[in-house]
Amino acid sequence: MTEPLFREDAYLTQVEAVLVTLDPRGLVLDRTIFYPQGGGQPGDRGELLFDDGSRVEIVDTLYGPDRANIVHVTAEGTREPTPGAKLIARIDWTLRYRRMRAHTALHLLTAVLPFPVTGGSVGESEGRLDFDSGEASLDKAEIAERLNGLIGRNAPVRSRWISDDELAANPGLVKTMSVKPPTGAGRVRLVEVEGIDLQPCGGTHVALTGEIGQAVVTQIEKKGRINRRVRIALSQNAA
Ligand SMILES: [Zn+2]
């Protein structure tokens, strides 16, 4: 079982850990700050620096089959270290922070466009969501203006846990139809952007919406009779 430290603090950039087991796809640690691919957010990249001086590059991060273990995917041809070895795990922070800003911006986009979400993806300083927006006409400039208004509020972003039963009693919390929150573990993580958005999410977010920086709506694409794909991009300079 890998302890997921990124859940309680998304700003950790490196941590000491121990290699527990080797997986066919990579390395399993006792604890990690590497985010595993899920909920539309890609897995982290980075490096593991072992006590013996060796360095292993991590090209992706994934959940193991039971989601208890987190697998740090190594590049092909990597020499396998010995379980029990101590190391420092360090993520590619530039990449992760861009994803945190884009991911948080998508939460705000669901507040600007309060329609059911059918899909989405987080990139580096950009992202997209698919909405069942019906016959509503969507305007790029208007959406961007409202989105930047929410970013400018510099609202705090917090997470807390609720029980599966509480979530079942409040189905309105689930905006994303295609990605149901993982229930069955007894509890679900709720992410709140104060006064703006509240929904279950396991991803990594910035602490204040002002960190997102200026956003633009780059494209609105028709994906079906009532479905629209909205793409946003962020300026490279975070606040
Ligand atoms: Zn999220």
Helix 93-112 and helix 140-152: axis angle, to 10°? 110
> Cα-Cα-Cα-Cα dihedral of 70, 75, 76, 78, to 10°?
-90
* pLDDT tens, residue by residue, 110-168: 999 999 999 999 999 999 999 999 888 899 999 999 999 999 999 999 999 988 888 88
- The Å distance, Cα 173 to ligand 1 centre, comes to 13
- The Å distance, Cα 29 to ligand 1 centre, comes to 24
- The Å distance, Cα 65 to ligand 1 centre, comes to 22
pTM of this structure: 0.93
Question: Which residues sit with Cβ closer than 5 angstroms to ligand 1, an ion?
Answer: 201, 203
Residue of 181 and 8 predicted with greater confidence: 8
Q: Which two tokens stand for residue 207?
A: 């602490």
The pLDDT mean for the chain works out to 92
- The Å distance, Cα 222 to ligand 1 centre, comes to 24
- The Å distance, Cα 84 to ligand 1 centre, comes to 33
- The Å distance, Cα 52 to ligand 1 centre, comes to 37
Q: Write the DSSP string, 175-213.
A: -BSSS----SSSEEEEEEETTTEEEE--S---SBGGGG-
pLDDT band at residue 188 using 50, 70 and 90 as cut-offs: confident
- The Å distance, Cα 51 to ligand 1 centre, comes to 34
Residue of 124 and 186 predicted with greater confidence: 124
- The Å distance, Cα 152 to ligand 1 centre, comes to 19
- The Å distance, Cα 50 to ligand 1 centre, comes to 32
